[in-house]
Amino acid sequence: MSATDLRERLRRLLLIIPYAVRNPGAPLAELAGIVSMTAEELAEELDFLMLVGQPPFAPDDCVDIRVEDGRVYVELDQALGKPPRLTPLEGLALAAAARGMAGADEGTIARALAKIEAALPAPLLPLYRDLSQRFEVARLPGEADMAALLRRAIHTRREVELEYFSESRGEHSHRPVLPRDLRYAQGHWYLSAYCLTRKGDRLFRVDRIREAKLTDRAFDRLPTEERPPAEPGEAPMPPVPPEAERPRLRLTGGAVIRYAKERFGAQALELLGGDPPQAILSLNGPADAWTVSFALSFGGAAEILEPEGLRTALRERLETALEAYR
Amino acid sequence: MERAERLLDLVALFLNARGAIAWSEIQEAFPDDYARGSPEANIRKFERDKADLAELGLTLTYVQGEERDKDGYLLDRSAYYLPALTLAKDELAVLYAAGAAALAEPAFPFRQDLVHALEKMAFAAGADPSASRDWSRLSAPRERDDSTTLGRWVSEISRAVASRKSVDLRYQAQRSGEVTRRRVDPYGLLYRFGAWVLVGYCHLREDMRTFRVDRIVGLTVNAARPRSTDFEVPKDFHLSDHAITRPWEFHRHAPIDVELRLGPDLAFLAERTFLGAQLLGQNSRGVRLRLKVSDREALLRALLPLGPGVEVLGPDKLRQETRALLEKILERHRRHARASERAAARGSR
């Protein structure tokens, strides 16, 4: 057993007894669920715990935890009936997550973390504080208020009216939505919601929401989630189009080719070689306005090859943009 | 005796003890474990166990007894047990949500510790067993750190940062693709804009450097003397000084001041994407901003997808570069696509 596995096992064991003490007669299966084990695995661990105790290991010196009619009872806990404090690393992980990913107002996070800090062993507080300064999970400050409002809407199940800027369409739209949840991916927060205008699930990049208004209109339940939307503000990913109809981009340069390989996989790329190297990227989705934005995000390193309609759309966008420079 | 059993026995022994326990008493209690080998081997074995106990949150201190008290190892019981946590409902919700978001990431420092922290928190908050798992239902947590390379690197770097051990990297430069080997003293780990960044002292360059973790192709933690530290973090080190904030703030060249105009539709981005930039003016044509840029290409890559609503006003050189780039992309898309593809195919031969 590796050192990590041993630690994991011990930590779990030190939590099993407290749960069993607090819930006398809890069904074995329920307790197993709490500690992420199968009932069989837990039964084995309970047998093991019967061996644990303090020297000289007379019967009264050992843990007495037994299963009767599928229910768990603790007769003797040998002072192991309460869990240990958070370790500095546990506190650290929780604090890093809360600071970077909570999407709530700073005050609530600060209050919660102060209480967590109080649950750390006092002698280890300096270590915790030192380590806290060496890990940082950051988010955009401007996103915090917006995320707090959206989270409130999600918890209270209320409709939200968004003023949303779609990058690919280059326009704002008014979107009443039923919020589902907030997701963090590729460095951005997204609101997953059922859009009442488009009648379907959409992802909205939180930093592209100009305004959000929490309405009084409560909803009971959301329509079942469709397949996850492909890209922000766009429709859920439709069935993959036949190969001949997929957008194809020509990429130039080793760095962008490596990036595309990481994001879309080697099978999406046809390497052409050359110096600088070139590759054809076949996208797995429909040809739409998003593809134009995506191609432009490579600077000059991507060219749309197909379909012709997207080349036209890209030209039109660039021609409009160039007017400001003439 | 099985190691897991011995460690739990030690926990029970110290939690039930009335005072310090002498080393001789510990040896007597575990004769097969601590009394069979040489005195040095015995104490080394106990020290290893003690270190494992510390990782579980059980810290033993060695005390010199006064008068009739004996020398020995002591556990402060009140420092061991988890106290009740009086977390308000919204505070608990914030921590659960944050935990769920972190566990859904492909990588997170000390993610296994995070799982345990959430479980202990649920317990101490008096949540009933079923509620304690709510965080895991909020999203699909990944099974383990090491299921992805990124997860493995973040996990190993986190431990190296915490225990101050040097790491040997094989690192791939983004532009050239060239792989270099270097020894790095990891001072800190950052997560910004979707990327994990290791900040540390690079022995190859003999200077502070930042490394994108997703560009690391190989990593080993210095295995020599695992229980001692390899370096000290300088007192004046502040992680935030090295925080790479925006893609255009990577140090590719000396910083320049760039002026942008965001049209009325995009003006709200001054408070989002460009937060922190200096606001120069606002009128019916939108807002004018000034920002520090040290990677102009990255800035243009970020601006192009925003469409015609954004304009580079200055410096004039960058304005001309922007115009040239727009024209270059436009020109390329004016050619017939088929001809363009044939040219690409020829180029590859």
Are residues A128 and A145 located together in one domain of the fold?
no
Are residues A95 and A128 located together in one domain of the fold?
yes
Would the CB atoms of A94 and B323 count as touching at under 8 Å? no
The pLDDT of residue A213 is 92
Q: Considering only CB atoms, which chain A residues are within 8 Å of B266?
A: 165
* A254 in contact with B, Cβ within 8 Å: yes
Would the CB atoms of A108 and B91 count as touching at under 8 Å? yes
Are residues A61 and A101 located together in one domain of the fold?
no
Are residues A11 and A40 located together in one domain of the fold?
yes
Domain assignment present for A223 = no
Domain assignment present for A19 = yes
From CA B186, how far away is CA B165, in angstroms rounded? 7
Overall domain count for chain A: 4
Domain assignment present for A230 = no
Mean pLDDT of B257-262: 95
Are residues A23 and A50 located together in one domain of the fold?
yes
From CA A119, how far away is CA A85, in angstroms rounded? 6
Would the CB atoms of A34 and B132 count as touching at under 8 Å? yes
Are residues A147 and A104 located together in one domain of the fold?
no
The pLDDT of residue A143 is 61
Domain assignment present for A207 = yes
* A2 in contact with B, Cβ within 8 Å: no
From CA A142, how far away is CA A103, in angstroms rounded? 10
Exposure class string for B13-40: b at 16+ Cβ within 10 A, else e: bbbebeebbebebbbebbeebbeeeeee
Residues 6+ apart with CB under 8 A from A226: A200, A201, A236
From CA A109, how far away is CA B176, in angstroms rounded? 42
Domain assignment present for A126 = yes
Dihedral over Cα of B190, B193, B195, B201: its sign: negative
The pLDDT of residue B146 is 55
Q: What is the DSSP string of B159-191?
A: HHHHHT--EEEEEE-TTT--EEEEEEEEEEEEE
Specify the CATH number for the domain of residue A205. 2.30.30.520
Would the CB atoms of B92 and A112 count as touching at under 8 Å? yes
Q: Would you say residue B135 has pLDDT above 50?
A: no
Q: Considering only CB atoms, which chain B residues are within 8 Å of A14?
A: 8, 11, 56
Would the CB atoms of A170 and B301 count as touching at under 8 Å? no
Are residues A127 and A146 located together in one domain of the fold?
no
Would the CB atoms of B138 and A19 count as touching at under 8 Å? no
Specify the CATH number for the domain of residue A265. 3.30.70
From CA B90, how far away is CA B205, in angstroms rounded? 47
Work out the angle between the directed axes of helices A308-323 and B316-334 (0-180°, nearest 10): 150
Exposure class string for B284-318: b at 16+ Cβ within 10 A, else e: eebbbbbbebbbbbbbbbbbbbbbbbbbbbeeeeb
Are residues A255 and A280 located together in one domain of the fold?
yes
DSSP conformation class of B266: T
* A134 in contact with B, Cβ within 8 Å: yes
User: Could you count the other beta carbons within 10 Å of the beta carbon of residue A141?
Assistant: 12
Joined tokens for residue B43: 């104490």
Among A184, A218, A252, identify where a domain stops: A218
Would the CB atoms of A141 and B57 count as touching at under 8 Å? no
This complex has an ipTM of 0.74
Joined tokens for residue B3: 């190691």
Are residues A123 and A68 located together in one domain of the fold?
no
Q: Which of B11, B81, B265 sits opposite A171 (nearest CB)?
A: B265
Are residues A251 and A283 located together in one domain of the fold?
yes
Would the CB atoms of B348 and A278 count as touching at under 8 Å? yes
Q: Would you say residue B62 has pLDDT above 80?
A: yes
Using alpha carbons only, give the angle B231, B234, B235 rounded to the nearest 5 degrees.
Answer: 135
Backbone angles phi, psi at B164, to 5 degrees: 55, 55
Using alpha carbons only, give the angle B245, B247, B251 rounded to the nearest 5 degrees.
Answer: 85
The pLDDT of residue B175 is 63
Q: Considering only CB atoms, which chain A residues are within 8 Å of B299?
A: none
The pLDDT of residue A226 is 59
Are residues A110 and A162 located together in one domain of the fold?
no
Q: Which residue of A46, A140, A192, A249 to mutate against B (max B Cβ within 10 Å)? A: A140
Mean pLDDT over all residues of chain B? Answer: 84
Q: Considering only CB atoms, which chain A residues are within 8 Å of B59?
A: 121, 123-124
Exposure class string for A80-117: b at 16+ Cβ within 10 A, else e: bbbbbbbbbbbbbbbbbbbbbbbbbbeebbeebbebbe
The pLDDT of residue B244 is 59
The mean pLDDT values, 10 residues at a time, for chain A of 326 residues are: 78 89 89 82 91 86 90 90 89 88 73 89 85 77 69 84 82 89 68 87 85 90 62 46 75 86 81 92 78 89 90 92 90
Question: Of chain A residues 12-71, which have a CB less than 8 A from chain B?
Answer: 13-15, 18-19, 22-23, 26, 30-31, 33-34, 48-49, 51-56, 63
Backbone angles phi, psi at B187, to 5 degrees: -90, -35
Q: Which domain holds residue A156?
A: 141-218
Domain assignment present for A229 = no
Among A101, A132, A163, identify where a domain stops: A132
Domain assignment present for A81 = no
Comparing B176-180, B185-189, B296-300, which segment has the lowest mean pLDDT? B176-180
* B97 in contact with A, Cβ within 8 Å: yes
Domain assignment present for A195 = yes
From CA A298, how far away is CA A142, in angstroms rounded? 26
Are residues A157 and A190 located together in one domain of the fold?
yes
Specify the CATH number for the domain of residue A17. 1.10.10
The pLDDT of residue B12 is 92
From CA B74, how far away is CA B21, in angstroms rounded? 6
